[in-house]
Amino acid sequence: MTDQKEPQDLGDDNPQKQPASDSPITTRRGVRSFVLRQGRMTEGQKKAYERSWPKFGLSREDGMIDPRQVFGRDAMLNLEIGFGMGRSLAEMAEAAPEQDFIGVEVHLPGVGALLKEIEDRGLENVRVYNIDANDVIDLCLPDACLDQVMVFFPDPWHKKKHHKRRLVQPEFVQRIRHKLRVGGILHLATDWENYAEHMMEVMGESEGFANTQEQGEYSPRPDYRPITKFEKRGENLGHGVWDLLFHRTN
């Protein structure tokens, strides 16, 4: 889902669990916010995928989930859309073992990379979808089940003729809103100033959301959002990064 991230209760006793690659990436028609540059998994990613997908993978065919059953507890639930190679998501999950995390990524190498991170760090509080986030929102998540939704560095589709492909659009934001509990946070981040302005315009006009900062102002980076190597490289080149945190008001 991003140009920044490299190309791109369920358990081991569930032998009927289908691998992500057996399910279509999306059931939605029309404009997509991503281009499927599938690429090849490394041997390490492939082995991690084979070992850990049955335990940590979720699929469209699972239908509407009950997060308490999936994680075996009632905890703060975070959704990251477009986790890239998964390092930031794994770092957040490791730093907050009392919280649960669902990651969504269309690129299979990224899924394999995150599963390897899960294994290496011994995480139990992460689950993974390898399908279009729109399908996850529409078909898999109950209303008001999420405490936070994170969209970090989505593809900016910087050419004007491609702006319609940007993920952050009014209709998308409203569908996210219904999955957040009242008071829940939608956290967006980008290093493209034009996209940041677009995000601020969309969020500022979105019913049921309010900025956690003053109107029209960006947020300081929260401590829980890791600084990626791409972000560090951008900072060294003098590029800015913009965080937007809006909470659901009704």
Burial (0-12, 13-18, 19+ Cβ within 10 Å), 160: exposed
Which residues are marked as active site?
155
The tally of CA atoms less than 13 A away on the side-chain side of residue 137 is 18
CA terminus-to-terminus distance, the chain: 29
- For tokens 């308490």, the residue is 68
Query: Alpha carbon of 123 to those of 116, 162, 224, 237: distances in Å?
Result: 10, 38, 17, 34
Burial (0-12, 13-18, 19+ Cβ within 10 Å), 84: buried
